[in-house]
Amino acid sequence: MVTFFSYFKYYLSKDRVLFTRIKQITGITPLNLSCYKQSLRHHSIASKIHNSGSKNSNERLEFLGDAVLNSVIAEYLFKKYPYKDEGFLTELRSKIVSRVSLNDLALKIGLSELVEYDRKSMQNINVRNSIFGNALEAFIGAIFLDKGFKKSKYFIIEKLLRLHIDVDKLQQTEKNFKGRLIEYTQKSGMNLDFKVDELTHGKQKIFKVSVIVNKKVFGEAEHTNKKQAEQQASEKALELLKNTPKDFFTHQENIENRDEEVLVDEAIEETLTETINESNDNLINENLEDGLFEETESEDLLAETEVNLEINSESIHLNKVLDDQTEEVKTNN
């Protein structure tokens, strides 16, 4: 009887649309719309309601909903997998209640369309990655306050798990991309490094992680959580490495070796030039001091020295070209 009157009370009020949408999403007739309204109100538009600074946002309901969600999922998995250990159950529950998973669920059931928030807040990467998932947890908290644990459990299992999550498929999904990347590079004999930079956006700290394989960047990601950034960057790197030709690193190593040879040749040429210049300067000065020839003759000697240097440089360059051509012939054969 209470449900019947509640239906007509809200159906004839300005909250008719919200009432109908909640009933469609949950399969439950809500009694107290105020807690649902609060569950859909992000703190970016919430009002201060206490001297302590507390706001009428969905953050407290999120805390409650998180506890209800985890307990229901824990019981569900405990019964579904009677012979699995706690490590397996914990990891699988983490995948189901992860921020990415909850955000996705909120979008699938249409809850994201009801969330109220300041559009400017979406520029914050942390908000963008969590706003709808947090609202879903708060929404579950609202169901718990309005209808009790039994109805909350019904919503989580029947409207979320069974309709939108393939638990058997999910438990086969490997999420530890960093571990897989480390294993992949070790087996392939590659050098792996993670470069972490701390960026600041306003008051927010962002971690930028770069995955470097054999001195080349293969994946980058930014996140407010360092571990999440590492996982996302590792996932990108794994995907790219698997699509990279096997001889890529061999060619790259050859190019680097050739660059090093060029630098060595340039250093030798520079040292040779400096040595010849210094020797000729000393010889000219000694001869001038001994009066063996005039200053004009020394200028002729300098000119001759410069010609010799050019010949030496051309000789070094020619030898380098011949070496490269020989190496290329060997490679082709």
**Cα–Cα nearest to 151, from 63, 38, 28:** 28
Cβ–Cβ < 8 Å for 212, 193: yes
State the catalytic residue, choosing from 137, 146, 230, 235.
Answer: 137
| Catalytic residue check, 137 | yes
State the catalytic residue, choosing from 59, 62, 66, 259.
Answer: 66
CB count, 10 Å around CB of 182?
A: 14
Q: Hey, is 186 helix, strand or coil?
A: helix
Q: Hey, is 217 helix, strand or coil?
A: strand
**Cα–Cα nearest to 160, from 96, 86, 253:** 96
Say which residues have a Cβ less than 8 Å from residue 301's Cβ, sequence separation at least 6: 280, 283, 284
CB count, 10 Å around CB of 17?
A: 10
The token pair at 219 is: 């994946």
Q: 42 — phi, psi (to 5°)?
A: -70, 150
The two beta strands, 192-201 and 216-223, are: unpaired
Rg (CA), the chain: 36
Which stretch of DSSP H or E encloses residue 252?
A: helix 248-290
DSSP string, 264-282: HHHHHHHHHHHHHHHHHHH
Q: How many residues does the chain have?
A: 333
Catalytic residue numbers read: 66, 137
